[in-house]
Amino acid sequence: MAPDTASRYATWSARRKYAEAVKKVLGPEEWTIAEAARHFGISRPRLSERVKKVREEAEPKADPLVSILPASSPRGEEGDTTGLSPLGLNEKRRVGTFEEFDERYFSWMVCPDCDVHHPTPEFHRDIMRALDSDAKRLLLNCPPYHSKSTLVTVKHSLYQLVKNPNHRRIIVSASMPFAQTFLNSITEMMLNHDLYGDGPNLIDDWGPFRADDSIWNTKHIYVAGRMTAEKDPSIQVLGVDGQIYGRRADDIVFDDIATTTNQATPASVNKMLDYVDKMATNRVGRNKGRLIFVGTRVMPQDIYFFLKERPSYTALRFPLIVDEANEQSLWPDHFPYQAALAARDEMAKEADFQLIYQNLDTPGLGASFTQEMLDLCKDKERVVGHYLPGWRLIAGLDLAGGNKGSGYTAGVLMGLDLKTGKRYLVDHFNMKSMRAPQLKDQIFEWTDKYPIYSWKVEN
């Protein structure tokens, strides 16, 4: 049949249109979901969810709520206080996996760029499984515009508090105003019934989340039903470098803390690493607490570069283009391959695209001198340390530091032929986290070995 236009149903409520559409799909007419959605002028993904729900409810099951059991479910054993409901009732919480939680409560969310609800992409499922794992240090690098913050910082915070109202989380972002936007999104989903329409309602199932006497503001919230003497908030938000002394948390989420400004120099990167290692880690404890980093790469040797090198970290890296030959992108429904090519064209340097969108460090890509140029300059008859009388030798030194998170200390010895003006590479060294005694020995070694005219040291 040819579907009618949706104008005749303009005065119908959304609930009525979805109900009639479900009947058309599951009834004797056996319309397709696409036909019914066009006919009634409604969202195809949402209709698909409702059809799926009705089908599941019609199937006999031994335990229909094995994955997610709301607060109104049968109570647990007497004296069992595991997973209490927000109301403080002695009720067993069977919330299921994060993936099940997301599928149940957030099918109403519409992509602001595409104006549709996207099915959960596979890489989101990978992230969910990582969050459900026992990894105590988790690093998640994604390209921009891939809903990483919505998934990890907003939805997972709600999931943790539904599982355990006593859970304490700190959210750290590049600035306090940006961090506060996350808390605003979380509180909106805890208080606004209208968001859920006629679908499963997080507030009905697990709320109320806010008690009449609880203190909620733009910096922290305390959810209802907490059964702990701890004074720390359920969720607290901070800008990076924000004071967290005196606060304890079960986990800390660092969301897009790296920017081109605060990662511009090795010193600024080391400062952020110190903040993580000396302040944040102590707030969650060495054994039980968890640190979760989610963000986009901004510099070749930013904080994420050093974190992924640590053996204790579980690192997941997601490139925008996953298969160039087959023109496949990470999230085709939302960011198709052609959009990825457009993003590449808009980047001034190919190296920037590889870093920011592909999450790849590509040494030398986009450099002033190509490998072919360097190969032409190589004199295979000369050895390291060779120089001729009459050359003027200049030593250059690029400092880094001796900490484990420091970069590479590099030294280059150049020889200048004063007659021809040609320059020659005489010697060099490059060492990660070179300590002061080693650097001192290297300087004296070169000074004793070569007639160095001057040392040029980076400020």
Q: What's the pLDDT score for residue 31?
A: 85
Q: Which residues contact 304 (CB under 8 A, 6 or more apart)?
A: 139, 141, 258, 293, 295, 297
Extended strands (E) in 146-208: 169-173
Q: What's the pLDDT score for residue 62?
A: 39
Mean model confidence pLDDT for the chain: 84
Task: Report the 10 Å Cβ neighbour count for 311.
Answer: 5
Least trusted range by pLDDT, from 200-214, 315-329, 330-344? 200-214
Q: What's the pLDDT score for residue 89?
A: 35
Residue 229 has pLDDT above 70, yes or no: no
Half-sphere exposure of 17 (CA within 13 A, CB side): 22
Residues in the chain: 459
Q: What's the pLDDT score for residue 105?
A: 93
Mean pLDDT (whole number) for 121-141: 95
Instruction: Note the pTM of the prediction, 2 decimals.
Output: 0.64
Comparing 418 with 30, the larger pLDDT belongs to 418
Q: What are phi and psi of 415, to 5 degrees?
A: -115, 130
Q: Which residues contact 332 (CB under 8 A, 6 or more apart)?
A: none
Mean pLDDT (whole number) for 176-182: 94
Mean pLDDT (whole number) for 230-252: 82
Residue 209 has pLDDT above 80, yes or no: yes
Residue 1 has pLDDT above 60, yes or no: no
Q: Assign 5 a pLDDT band (cuts: 50, 70, 90).
A: low
pLDDT digits (tens, 9 = 90+) for 286-303: 667 899 999 999 998 899
Q: What are phi and psi of 252, to 5 degrees?
A: -130, 130
In the chain, what percentage of residues exceed pLDDT 70?
86
Residue 66 has pLDDT above 50, yes or no: no
**Six token digits for residue 403:** 């900490």
Rounded Cα gap, residues 101 and 53, in angstroms: 15
Q: Assign 179 a pLDDT band (cuts: 50, 70, 90).
A: very high
Half-sphere exposure of 451 (CA within 13 A, CB side): 8
The closest of 41, 1, 5, 116 to 20, measured between CA atoms, is: 41
The closest of 159, 105, 58, 144 to 346, measured between CA atoms, is: 144
Residue 120 has pLDDT above 90, yes or no: yes
| DSSP characters over 45-81 | HHHHHHHHHHHHHHS--S-TTSS-B-TTSPP-STT--
Least trusted range by pLDDT, from 230-239, 356-365, 391-400? 356-365
